Amino acid sequence: MIWNRVDPAKVRRLFYPQVSVVVAVKSDGRIGAMPAIWCMPLSFNPPLIGIALAPEHETCKMIKKARGFTVNWLDYSHAREVGELGEISGRDFADKLAAVNLRTVKSKVNPQPLIREASAVLECQVREEHRTGTHELVIGEVLEAHASAHFRDYWDFSKYEPLPYAGTEQKRGKSWRFMSTRRATMRVAFKHSG
Amino acid sequence: MIWNRVDPAKVRRLFYPQVSVVVAVKSDGRIGAMPAIWCMPLSFNPPLIGIALAPEHETCKMIKKARGFTVNWLDYSHAREVGELGEISGRDFADKLAAVNLRTVKSKVNPQPLIREASAVLECQVREEHRTGTHELVIGEVLEAHASAHFRDYWDFSKYEPLPYAGTEQKRGKSWRFMSTRRATMRVAFKHSG
């Protein structure tokens, strides 16, 4: 293979496609949420997951305060809502999920909001935080996990269509690009220019 | 959405599909390597990545000793080699990559092996290690990154076909299941029963 050097600022894009999740939190009566792709398991038992967030995001600040959060997998049919969540700020809304027409249901184990439209959800308690360069790595213990009937031992991908993020696109304005596992590409236009 | 409770031991499978990478290392003249899916960026600048490995794996022990490693993206055409790497132990081979017919080229910045057949490679130095439950989270700084001509600002997915892991399958023996972004499923049979 012949290789070209990759600019360090673009290294993260080598990891694409990565399934998007929505991380959600309730703190001081407000609901925050944001799409995230830097999210992965870190342990079998206890079940730990890690999520790396930019600390300037309102959602990150709220998670650090609430000491809990949820992880929500929305399927491909919700690409637009997930993209839009990344385009608005939690500072402007008391319920950021409602602002993109997603509904919540309360977690049974902590006061954190689960997204009703999600195909799977994790209820997490913050165990550790590590500052890693520009980001904050939040390590959460999964207290409870639930999924639709399309997940049994594994996802049935003939029924559940995941939402892998594949980067942005500059074509008549900037868009989020999601890659279907069924070979279509969904674009969600950026609202603000950037 | 109607949800069913997910067994904590199966939580990690909610994250599928996840693109497989091969992490490789040279230590004491031996080459170790293993497939990994718990690998993601942790910072823009410096470019940091995290990889969570089971500490009992020979490759994990070698990385802790060598203080360096590489991350290699093999495309879908190499599913078999990636699956096979997960089925043999580093204890049995002086060069585990050669054992599955993958060739190496030396990194320019450290003594770590890059996989010649890879579509993209990262050369990393270990910055931190955190024990997270059953796994060891190794945080590496990316010293150099290279990719094939199919990556410019982003991957060109019409040319580069990634290798997302979708779990194992119990059907005439146990297999690794990789999910093509072009709608085929590749199965790599387990060599040992398990």
Q: Do A166 and B145 lie within an 8 Å CB cutoff?
A: no
Look at residue B190 and tell me if it is in a domain: no
Find chain A residues with C-beta within 8 A of B118's C-beta. 1
How far apart, in whole angstroms, are the C-alpha atoms of residue A172 and residue A163? Answer: 23
pLDDT at res. B190? 65
How far apart, in whole angstroms, are the C-alpha atoms of residue A119 and residue B15? Answer: 12
Find chain B residues with C-beta within 8 A of A8's C-beta. 45-47, 142, 145
Q: What is the pLDDT of residues A126-145, one digit of tens each?
A: 999 999 999 999 999 999 99
pLDDT at B41 over 90: yes
Residue B101 Ramachandran class (φ > 0 left, ψ -120 to 50 alpha, else beta)? left
Count of domains in chain B? 1
Out of B39, B47, B157, the one facing A11 most closely (by C-beta) is B47
Q: Nearest Cα to A6, choosing from B47, B169, B145, B108?
A: B145
Q: What is the pLDDT of residues A54-87, one digit of tens each?
A: 999 999 999 999 999 999 999 999 999 999 999 8
pLDDT at res. B96? 96
Beta bridge mates, B33: B24
Q: Do B40 and A38 lie within an 8 Å CB cutoff?
A: yes
Average pLDDT over every residue of B34-56: 97
Look at residue B186 and tell me if it is in a domain: no
- Could you tell me the residue range of the domain that residue B50 belongs to? 18-147+156-162
Out of A44, A121, A162, the one facing B17 most closely (by C-beta) is A162
Look at residue B66 and tell me if it is in a domain: yes
Find chain B residues with C-beta within 8 A of A128's C-beta. 130, 132
Angle at B61 between CA B59 and CA B66, to 5 degrees: 90
Look at residue A76 and tell me if it is in a domain: yes
Look at residue B181 and tell me if it is in a domain: no
Out of B6, B119, B144, the one facing A146 most closely (by C-beta) is B6
* B65: DSSP letter: H
**Between B114 and A171, residue with greater pLDDT:** B114
- B54's CB contacts (< 8 A; 6+ apart) are B60, B134, B135, B136
Tell me the two tokens of residue A29: 């009566």
Q: Do B47 and A9 lie within an 8 Å CB cutoff?
A: yes
pLDDT at B106 over 70: yes
- At A26, which CATH number? 2.30.110.10
- ipTM of the prediction: 0.95
Out of A157, A162, A166, the one facing B157 most closely (by C-beta) is A166
pLDDT at B12 over 70: yes
pTM: 0.94
How far apart, in whole angstroms, are the C-alpha atoms of residue B169 and residue A169? Answer: 36
Look at residue A159 and tell me if it is in a domain: no
Look at residue B2 and tell me if it is in a domain: no
Beta bridge mates, A119: none
| Mutant choice from B15, B109, B117, B169 vs A, greatest count of A C-beta within 10 A | B15
* C-beta atoms surrounding B92 within 10 Å: 9
